[in-house]
């Protein structure tokens, strides 16, 4: 094992059923100034919006997270926030309330409020130069690890890839982890997103780039996922949703060195705009020759939780689309090498990759 880089983690969390009631005091501790809340539009016309501790002068922005966030989404939101600031609004904190997409958008906008230019200029490793605006993450769906990762994944259609602003400045300053916020999540989405934790944890544990801290966190989070999705009771019982929030938080700290699932998943998201969690499941469903145990486990979980993963999603694609799927997958050299070694192209030939997509 080599020495890790200096690894940062989110410095503070409040955790527990009902923790949402503490959001006001966390924001108030940052005042004076206005808070800017980015809330998943899923919560429009729900009590959560009324319970938001927004004060006079604060702004609440509803964010459509039904599709993966793009660099353009972030640029537009950052532009609006910059305009509000030039208009005299003094920002004390950005608060992201939602799933991985809303959390990632909040992180990206916070970076752009202290760094000039467009979102895509910061997609990559350590390109963010100045510390971001203070930000608080409030996940309402568990699994992506966006609440504790140092990245925010944005789709860039011009470059035809999904890439994060990978930076210590991207980390949230504060988390509020309230499992009761995931109670209303749609069942399939709860499973697909929760399984993201399982995916990046087992991929980390299988890869070439590892360390003991990450291994232990990944194993704990993966074990929680098995318990949640295959243990007695329903995956959406209170105690299971609580465990899923913990699995996402601990597993998120173990993410980073993924394997085959994430590159195939990224291809699907780029070409077919399939959300990340479900795209992972499509990918793992055809990767049985590489991950036999985990692929079988996914089938067992889907059957047990009565969630259907559509089949034939690549049935009617054009050759251009297949080529785009191939390119959108093979570009992810680091995770592919982590899983298969530097010579991964000898295994993942163009026909092989296309055959796998055809099977989805």
Q: How far is the CB of 252 from its own copies (least distance, A)?
A: 13
Q: Does 75 bind its own copies (CB under 8 A)?
A: no
3-state DSSP call for residue 146?
coil
Q: Take residue 273 and report the two structure tokens written for it.
A: 């705009």
Q: Does 211 bind its own copies (CB under 8 A)?
A: yes
Shortest CA distance to 177 belongs to which of 11, 30, 22? 22
Residue 201 and residue 251 in contact, taking contact as beta carbons nearer than 8 Å: yes
Long-range pairs, 10-14, Cβ under 8 A, ≥24: 10/137, 10/147, 10/148, 10/171, 10/172, 10/173, 10/174, 10/175, 11/173, 11/174, 12/173, 12/174, 12/175, 13/174, 13/175, 13/176, 13/177, 13/249, 14/174, 14/175, 14/176, 14/177
In angstroms, rounded to a whole number, what is the distance separating the alpha carbons of residues 148 and 254? Answer: 10
Q: How far is the CB of 7 from its own copies (least distance, A)?
A: 5
Binding mask 175-194 for its own copies (x = CB under 8 A): ---x----------------
CB atoms within 10 A of CB 64: 13
Q: How far is the CB of 207 from its own copies (least distance, A)?
A: 16
| CB closer to its own copies, 18 vs 124 | 18
3-state DSSP call for residue 242?
helix
> What number of chain residues touch its own copies (CB under 8 A)?
37
Residues 1-30 that bind its own copies (CB under 8 A): 1-9, 11-19, 21-22, 26
Q: Does 131 bind its own copies (CB under 8 A)?
A: no
Q: How far is the CB of 233 from its own copies (least distance, A)?
A: 15
Residues 219-258 that bind its own copies (CB under 8 A): 219-220, 224, 242-243, 245-246, 249-250
| CB closer to its own copies, 70 vs 182 | 182
Residue 136 and residue 160 in contact, taking contact as beta carbons nearer than 8 Å: no
Q: Does 174 bind its own copies (CB under 8 A)?
A: yes
Q: How far is the CB of 148 from its own copies (least distance, A)?
A: 11
The residue ranges that bind its own copies (CB under 8 A) are: 1-9, 11-19, 21-22, 26, 174, 178, 211-213, 216-217, 219-220, 224, 242-243, 245-246, 249-250
């Amino acid at each position: 094992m080599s020495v890790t880089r200096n690894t940062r983690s989110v410095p503070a969390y409040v955790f527990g059923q009902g923790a949402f009631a503490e959001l006001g005091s966390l924001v108030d501790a940052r005042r004076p100034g206005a808070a800017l809340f980015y809330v998943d539009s899923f919560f429009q016309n729900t009590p959560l919006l009324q319970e938001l501790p927004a004060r006079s002068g604060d702004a609440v922005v509803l964010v459509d997270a039904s599709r993966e966030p793009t660099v353009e989404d972030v640029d537009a939101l950052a532009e609006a926030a910059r305009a509000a600031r030039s208009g005299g609004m003094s920002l004390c904190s950005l608060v992201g309330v939602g799933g991985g997409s809303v959390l990632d958008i909040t992180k990206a906008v916070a970076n752009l409020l202290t760094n000039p230019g467009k979102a895509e200029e910061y997609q990559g490793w350590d390109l963010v130069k100045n510390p971001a605006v203070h930000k608080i993450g409030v996940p309402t769906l568990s699994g992506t690890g966006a609440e504790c990762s140092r990245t925010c994944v944005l789709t860039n259609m011009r470059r035809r890839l999904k890439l994060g602003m990978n930076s210590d400045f991207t980390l949230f300053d504060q988390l509020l982890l309230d499992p009761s916020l995931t109670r209303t999540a749609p069942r399939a989405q709860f499973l697909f997103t929760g399984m993201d934790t399982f995916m990046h944890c087992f991929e980390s544990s299988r890869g070439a780039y590892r360390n003991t801290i990450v291994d232990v966190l990944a194993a704990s989070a993966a074990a929680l996922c098995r318990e949640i999705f295959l243990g007695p009771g329903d995956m959406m019982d209170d105690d299971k949703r609580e465990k899923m929030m913990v699995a996402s938080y601990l597993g998120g700290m173990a993410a980073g060195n993924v394997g085959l699932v994430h590159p195939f998943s990224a291809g699907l998201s780029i070409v077919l705009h399939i959300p990340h969690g479900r795209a992972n499941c499509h990918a793992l469903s055809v990767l049985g020759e590489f991950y036999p145990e985990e692929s079988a486990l996914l089938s067992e979980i889907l059957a047990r939780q009565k969630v259907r993963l559509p089949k034939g999603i690549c049935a009617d694609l054009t050759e251009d689309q297949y080529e785009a799927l191939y390119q959108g997958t093979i570009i992810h050299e680091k995770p592919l090498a982590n899983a298969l070694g530097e010579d991964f192209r000898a295994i993942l030939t163009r026909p092989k990759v296309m055959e796998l997509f055809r099977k989805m």
